Structure 1
Amino acid sequence: MSENWNQNMTDELIPGLDKTTDEVAWDLYRKAIRFGTWDPAAIDLSQDKKDFESLDEDLKGYLIHFCTGFLDAEENVALKFCPWIMLGSSTEQQAFLSTQLLEEFKHTEFFMRYFKEVLGRERISGVKNIVQQKLDERAKKMLAALEQGPEEREAALVEGLTHYQGIIEGVQAMTGYDVYEAVFGSKGLLPGLGEAFTRIKQDEGRHVGFGLRMLKLFARKPEHAKRIRELYDEYLPHILIRYDQPVIVDGQEYPTPPEVRGRERLTKMFERRLKDIFGTSVTV
């Protein structure tokens, strides 16, 4: 898998502007119906268990930390995503967004299974992801906007799309896929995790593509463009914490593999997302 895979995938899945948003949403809903029916319980994890047992202790520690970050993130949004659906402005948009809720629970199921069957333990505590933690406040604001007028609802949706599809999925998750490939996939390790990431990326390609298209349209209004950029800038330091933090498992610190290059990958993806939305090169 090339390092440009994530970007090529997202470029292909950002729908064009030749259709209305409702038409695009319905097309993506139908794609989710046809292509998003993979079963997390059906992925073969037998080789992953053997690979994990043969890893050195440093890589075992890093994998536990890495998978904890994904499980925490997938579960967190699965439990909080309903306001995004409710703020959709049409049946078509709500239909598509509803597929994302199901898919987030499927991703959560896979990582719960991975901890039980491959890692043989519970997730660890203390993996920092401040942008994810801020979803509690975001969901409350979006729910409150449901009782307000159309302008307030639209503003809340813009912020929600920026926060989740634009930043958490569009930057953090996409970077995580590259990290898996660099550290494990490129060495032929953990094929079950690789298959799951392939499936998850297909799902999240729809999520990110729709979210970026929406933000691209909303950014035509100066007040929305200003807020989108403010949120990206506000969250950048929190995004970088994801890979700057020490890897600590059961009180022991493990080294970060040199292939991770987390800050570099995150910054590059961050700049790419701003370019996707605003259409010009943007420097951090």
Structure 2
Amino acid sequence: MSISQDRLNYEQVDKELEHIQDLNHEDRRKADELAYSLYRMAIRFGTWDPQEIDLTEDKKHFATMDQQKRDYLIHFCTGFWNAEENVAVQFCPWVMVAPTTHQQAFLSTQLVEEFKHTEFFERYFKEVLGVDRENKVQNIVHDTLDPRGKQLIQAIEEGPESREAAMVEGMAHYQGIIEGVQAMVGYDVYEAVWGQYNLLPGLREAFKNIKRDEGRHVGFGLRMLKQFSRKPEHAERIRRVYEEYLPAMLIRYDQQVIVNGREIETPVEVQGKDRIQKMFDRRLKDILGNQLQQV
């Protein structure tokens, strides 16, 4: 396949993923059909290698960056590394609770991709940042994944109704909140703080690939939540999960930023709390629509 043809195919994939994530566009595919389509997309277009991304320019940029931007980059990438690793080691219950083989097959690609994202950030710290990740970065939404995973495992043994209810809450928590709001805001923050100044092209390439991976995850999760929300009891579950974790997401951008034992100022471009609130409002409105006023 030629480079131009390969690029064209990826452009088409990105357009399709944008369409899937935009719940204003109707998608009549049933869950298994959508899951299988995204599974095939992951097989064909999700095989990028974290070790092949060129980090040469990132090393130069980091070496000449002002101290505040360097320190905030360490803080920022710590949050992503922690998040990807935390999900990677705890995602199996999300695969297991899915009711069909096609859905489990698609979700299994997500499990592999979370480990791949983790590998990239481990490499980035080693080869570009040259330090270990910080240990004072709060990510409360991720801290609750362990009990959520245990809840999913327990629900598998309790029958189809409990299993479906647990799946709704699990998807709202992970694909809806963590990936659908928190991670998407993270990409925007990268672009605002470094990307718009043409800094860190290796990190930009990684985020492009990670965002494509997570576009599949989020697209499936949002479409499933939209279908589940037709039942009033599930609409209420979705709203409750979203509202439960909004304060925790806001804390991530309201916390004291400490790097190498010293407090640093957050770059003015971040505007994390505003970005979180806007994405949160958009996701909840897209999923629940007119039901938002009823639940």
User: TM-score scaled to structure 2, two decimals?
Assistant: 0.91
Offset, 1:12: 1.4
2:15 equivalent to 1:12: no
- The corresponding residue for 1:52 is 62
- The 8 Å contact of residues 50 and 120 in structure 2, kept in 1 or not, is answered as yes
Q: Which residue of 125, 143, 146 maps to 1:115?
A: 125
Contact 2:235 2:291 in 1 (8 A): no
Structure 2 unaligned regions, length at least 5: 1-14
Structure 2 residue 239 is matched with structure 1 residue 229: yes
| Separation in structure 1 between the aligned mates of residue 37 and residue 87 of structure 2, nearest angstrom | 23
Residue number in structure 1 paired with 2:87: 77
Q: CA deviation at 1:279?
A: 2.3
Q: In the alignment, does 2:53 pair up with 1:43?
A: yes
Q: Contact 1:61 / 1:247 at 8 angstroms: preserved in 2?
A: no
- 1:9 is displaced (CA, Å) by 7.9
Partner of 2:252: 242
Q: Deviations over 1:134-159 (max 9, x none)?
A: 00110111111111100000011001
CA spacing shift, 1:281–1:239, aligned 2, 3 Å: farther
Aligned to 2:217: 207
- Work out whether 1:270 is the aligned partner of 2:277: no
- Is 1:142–2:152 an aligned residue pair? yes
Taking the aligned partners of 1:129 and 1:159, their CA distance within structure 2 comes to: 19
Contact kept in structure 1, 2:20 and 2:223, CA below 8 Å: no
User: What is the letter of the counterpart of residue 267 of structure 1?
Assistant: Q
User: RMSD between aligned alpha carbons?
Assistant: 1.7
CA shift for structure 1 position 17: 3.2
Q: How does the TM-score come out when normalised to structure 1? A: 0.94
State the secondary structure of the residue aligned to 1:244: coil
Partners of 1:22 and 1:93 within 8 A in 2 = yes
Alignment of 1:186 with 2:196, yes or no, is: yes
Distance 1:193 1:137 in 2: 32
Cα distance in 2 between the residues matched to 1:18 and 1:10? 15
Look up the SS of the partner of 2:253 in the other structure.
helix
Instruction: Give yes or no for contact 2:68–2:265 (8 Å, CA) kept in 1.
Output: yes
* Match of residue 271, structure 2, among 247, 258, 261: 261
Match status 1:90 vs 2:108 = no
* Paired letter, 1:253: E
**CA-CA distance at 1:13 after TM superposition:** 2.5
Which secondary structure state, in structure 2, belongs to the residue aligned with residue 44 of structure 1? coil
- Could you tell me how far apart the structure 2 residues matched to 1:10 and 1:154 are? 25
2:249 is paired with a residue whose SS is helix
Shift in CA distance, 193/282, structure 1 to aligned 2, threshold 3 Å: farther
| Unaligned ranges ≥5, structure 1 | 1-7
Distance 2:68 2:149 in 1: 37
CA contact (8 A) 1:10 1:208 kept: no
Cα distance in structure 2, aligned partners of 1:115 and 1:91: 37
Tell me how far 1:11 sits from its aligned partner.
4.2
1:38–1:199 Cα contact (<8 Å) kept: yes
User: Can you list the C-alpha shifts for 1:188-234, whole angstroms capped at 9, x where unaligned?
Assistant: 00000000000000000000000000000101111111011011111
Residue 146 of structure 2 aligns to a residue whose secondary structure is helix
Closer, same or farther: CA 143–281 of 1 in aligned 2, 3 Å: closer
CA-CA distance at 1:275 after TM superposition: 1.5
Q: How many pairs does the alignment contain?
A: 277
